[in-house]
């Protein structure tokens, strides 16, 4: 095998790890794109704040007030009192600004969704290439062709994560209270002093969520850096191995088998060649015997006759042409 068991396990883990987190990441981007296409109508106050801050466009129509009644999954993340205050603030905002749209936030969100989506797609393809390299035991310089793209696109994804995390992290201080959130949304016809009791953490929550999403909760991001380094090291080590060492995990066994096979072929050849030559000689002698003239037969008989003592009576210079 081209890699040691340790590096082989690292490559397989990196491939699976990439597939899992990319599916989750791309799934979130698809939901975000779905929201920008006016196909998402939030009904809970938390999802409504998130939707208005980064995804709502005026072409989607008027916003609808939220109802604090009923039971929702998101109720576990907010108390009833905070929900009542936040819902009152939100309903007042959309009542005065029924088509409130954060144009800068929407444009930036679409741009980063496209960048992250493309980088993750290429990353998945490079992970598939890494898996093929491990599966087919790619050797020598071909390792850079199969393993190299994974290292390259992992590095690209890490850089994209750093930049996108920084971009959304800068929105956190811009939405840390009601007044700043209204400025962030370009709303200037609402008196922020009337809503000092609104829990600002929920207005700050969309930027925090997107920052955590872009940073892959930091832990995942750090694991990606480690995988990138280890796969790069595995690629370099594997590319330096000679062809025979890559293709033969147990060279001693293979050499013994080759040696035995060579001797078998040699003995078969030595047994086949004499028998074949003997048959050919017999056939040639038979043909020559029938082709000789009576004079040649007589001369051959005299040359190869044997006396009573078992000695050959072949005369010296018997190779001289016989004249009758």
State how far the Cα of 126 lies from the Cα of 220, in Å rounded to an integer.
18
Helices (H), 98-218: 103-135, 142-146, 148-169, 178-184, 201-214
State the pTM of this model. Answer: 0.70
Contacts of range 118-121, beta carbons closer than 8 Å, 24 or more positions apart: 119/153, 119/156, 119/157, 119/160, 120/22, 120/25, 120/26, 120/29, 120/157, 121/22, 121/26
| 230 and 309 part of one domain | no
Residue 300's nearest CA partner among 287, 318, 280 is 318
| 81 and 225 part of one domain | yes
Structure tokens given for 80: 């009833």
pLDDT at 322 over 50: no
Helices (H), the chain: 5-36, 45-54, 80-96, 103-135, 142-146, 148-169, 178-184, 201-214, 219-239, 243-247, 251-291, 294-303
The tens digit of pLDDT for each residue in 43-70 reads 899 999 999 999 998 888 888 888 777 7
| 272 and 302 part of one domain | no
| 286 and 296 part of one domain | no
| 187 and 297 part of one domain | no
- CA angle centred on 194, ends 190 and 195, rounded to 5°: 95
| 37 and 148 part of one domain | yes
State how far the Cα of 46 lies from the Cα of 53, in Å rounded to an integer.
11
Selected residue with higher pLDDT from 259 and 215:
215
Q: Which residue has the tokens 């991001």?
A: 221
pLDDT at 172 over 80: yes
| 320 and 198 part of one domain | no
152 three-class SS: helix
Q: Which residues of 26-51 are buried (b: 16+ CB within 10 A; e: fewer)?
A: beebeebbebbeeeeebebbbbbbbb
State how far the Cα of 171 lies from the Cα of 53, in Å rounded to an integer.
11
pLDDT at 269 over 90: no
Last residue of a domain, one of 193, 218, 247: 247
- Which pLDDT score, from 0 to 100, does residue 324 have? 44
- Is residue 209 within 8 Å of 74, Cβ to Cβ? no
| 187 and 203 part of one domain | yes
Q: Which residue has the tokens 């990606």?
A: 224
Average pLDDT over residues 125-145: 85
Residue 135 binned pLDDT confidence (cut-offs 50, 70, 90): confident
The mean pLDDT of the chain is: 81
pLDDT at 245 over 50: no
| 117 and 262 part of one domain | no
Count of other CB atoms within 10 angstroms of residue 167: 16
State how far the Cα of 179 lies from the Cα of 230, in Å rounded to an integer.
48
Count of domains for the chain: 3
Structure tokens given for 90: 């939100």
pLDDT at 89 over 90: yes
| 222 and 298 part of one domain | no
- Which pLDDT score, from 0 to 100, does residue 228 have? 94
| 14 and 25 part of one domain | yes
Question: What is the span of the domain harbouring residue 318?
Answer: 292-324
Last residue of a domain, one of 229, 247, 265: 247
| 200 and 272 part of one domain | no
């Amino acid at each position: 095998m081209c890699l040691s068991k340790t590096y082989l396990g690292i490559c397989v883990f990196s491939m699976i790890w990439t597939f899992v987190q990319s599916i989750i990441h791309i799934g979130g981007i698809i939901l975000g794109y779905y929201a920008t296409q006016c196909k998402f109508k939030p009904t809970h106050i938390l999802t409504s704040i998130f939707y208005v801050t980064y995804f709502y466009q005026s072409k989607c129509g008027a916003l609808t007030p939220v109802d604090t009644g009923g039971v929702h999954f998101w109720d576990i993340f907010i108390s009833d009192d905070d929900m009542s205050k936040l819902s009152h603030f939100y309903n007042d905002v959309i009542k005065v600004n029924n088509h409130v749209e954060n144009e800068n936030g929407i444009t930036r969100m679409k741009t980063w969704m496209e960048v992250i989506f493309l980088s993750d797609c290429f990353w998945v393809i490079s992970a598939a290439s890494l898996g093929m390299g491990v599966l087919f035991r790619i050797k020598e310089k071909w390792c850079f062709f199969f393993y190299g793209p994974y290292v390259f696109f992992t590095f690209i994804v890490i850089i994209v994560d750093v930049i996108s995390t920084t971009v959304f992290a800068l929105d956190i201080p811009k939405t840390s209270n009601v007044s700043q959130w209204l400025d962030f949304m370009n709303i200037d016809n609402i008196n922020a002093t009337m809503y000092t009791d609104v829990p600002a953490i929920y207005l700050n929550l969309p930027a925090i969520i997107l920052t955590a999403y872009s940073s892959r909760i930091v832990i995942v991001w750090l694991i990606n850096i480690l995988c990138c380094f280890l796969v790069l090291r595995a690629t370099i080590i594997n590319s330096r191995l000679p062809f025979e060492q890559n293709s033969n995990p147990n060279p001693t066994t293979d050499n013994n088998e080759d040696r035995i096979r060579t001797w078998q072929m040699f003995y078969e050849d030595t047994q086949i060649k004499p028998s074949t030559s003997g048959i050919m000689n017999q056939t040639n002698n038979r043909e020559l015997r029938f082709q000789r003239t009576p004079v040649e037969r007589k001369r051959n008989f005299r040359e190869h006759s044997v006396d009573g003592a078992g000695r050959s009576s072949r005369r010296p210079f018997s190779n001289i042409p016989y004249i009758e």
